[in-house]
Structure 1
Amino acid sequence: MKTGKRTGRFGQMTDTSSTGFSRRGLLRAFAATTLVAAPSYANAAGFLRGAGDIRRISMYSGRTGESIDTIYWIEGEYIQEALKEITYFMRDWRNSKMIGMDPRTVDIMAASKSLMDTDEPYMLLSGYRSPETNNMLRSRSSGVAKNSLHMKGEAADLRLKSRSVAQMAGAAKTCNAGGVGTYRGSNFVHMDCGPIRTWNG
């Protein structure tokens, strides 16, 4: 499982004009609402230190039947064990291959969810995609990019029952921190930590 380099590399976020990723936009999104977070994963409780900045993500997968609800950031620090849990959860469900998920994408997901003011967990449709899976999907759809950020652990396709695609996309765009994509006839939103851009395929 390749998590060490990825999580270590992005352990401290910086403003990155070369990729378009905006830490400032994310911080504004997190500040716009209060994250009420009670740890439900066993390892998280020991990391709580007062009432500081806490970031939490909750998701479930209809493909694997698994769910995750974890605090992954406490007062300016990523919790490496939580990031490993997220990486495993967001693996390629078709072949169980995985890569360290970029915590910047998790931040975008968490900040967007905070702005939507819902406790509903995301339904994860696609996190990491192995090259084999991406090639297979490309053969079936013109909407799958050859060099998809899913293959780098930098993207997620997500759904919420309680929020529309427009509401989800609007929240993600407000973060001003990466790519936000929607697709005609589909009820999910693509979020990534690549260059800031939007599309409706």
Structure 2
Amino acid sequence: MIQRRTILKSGLLLAASSLSLPTLAKNSSIATGDCCLRFYNTHTGEKLTSTFWAQGEFIPDALGDINKVLRDHRTNKIADIDPELLLLLGQLNGKLGNSKELHIISGYRAPESNAFLRGHGSGGVAKRSLHMEGKAIDIRLPGTDLRNLQKAAMSLQGGGVGYYDSSQFVHMDTGRVRYW
């Protein structure tokens, strides 16, 4: 009997190998080196340090660990996080000279969590949020001014960047380039 983890690993390998290096690694320093991210999930208290990209390839087990820490904390559902989003976060860290943990406010969001947030007055929750596709993340970086974090994210031109001062986070996604 084939184990579920083996099937998931195979799927991740196939997905990662089908994407071209130029599409995923817009920054040549990431394309040729390792990419390590440090996360602190503000809702679960979980921490993760993960090298998910090494020697020009994604590391399936590391991607799985990241998917788990960025899961929907309301439903405990796990989904695949877009590898381009992870590379974008690596580029953001490089731009800021950051080696500290990124504080995660929201990673993957299940459709029912998204509907709940929309229905309970959480402003700025899109009906078709990219969080539901694993293509968006809300972050803060303690010790870094939120406006500086926003400006660094915008300078990458990797997708959407939203600034949420009252909630103290910056939204990043791999959708079309746009700012709010």
Do the structures match in fold with TM over 0.5? yes
TM-score range, shorter chain: 0.7 to 0.9
Q: 1:8 aligns with which of 4, 14, 19?
A: 14
Amino acid at match of 1:27: N
Query: Would you say the 8 A contact 1:3–1:100 is kept in 2?
Result: no
Q: Given the superposition, is the C-alpha separation of residues 8 and 180 from structure 1 closer, same or farther in structure 2, using an over 3 Å criterion? A: farther
Q: 2:94 aligns with which of 96, 107, 114?
A: 114
Q: Does 1:101 align with 2:107?
A: no
Q: Given the superposition, is the C-alpha separation of residues 7 and 129 from structure 1 closer, same or farther in structure 2, using an over 3 Å criterion? A: farther
Q: CA deviation at 1:6?
A: 5.9
Percent identical? 33
3-state DSSP of counterpart to 1:158: strand
TM-score of the aligned structures, taking structure 2 as reference length: 0.85
Q: CA deviation at 1:9?
A: 2.5
Q: Given the superposition, is the C-alpha separation of residues 85 and 68 from structure 1 closer, same or farther in structure 2, using an over 3 Å criterion? A: same
Q: Give unmatched runs, 5+ long, in structure 2.
A: none
Q: 2:142 aligns with which of 161, 173, 192?
A: 161
Q: Given the superposition, is the C-alpha separation of residues 126 and 3 from structure 1 closer, same or farther in structure 2, using an over 3 Å criterion? A: farther
Query: Would you say the 8 A contact 2:40–2:46 is kept in 1?
Result: yes
Q: Give unmatched runs, 5+ long, in structure 1.
A: 17-22, 32-51
- Give distance in 2, aligned partners of 1:176 and 1:8: 27
TM-score of the aligned structures, taking structure 1 as reference length: 0.77
Number of paired residues? 171
Question: 1:53: which partner in 2?
Answer: 33
- Structure 1 stretches of 4+ moved >4 Å: 1-7
Question: 1:175: which partner in 2?
Answer: 156
- Give distance in 1, aligned partners of 2:159 and 2:130: 11
Q: CA deviation at 1:10?
A: 4.0
Amino acid at match of 1:99: A
Q: What's the Cα RMSD here?
A: 2.2
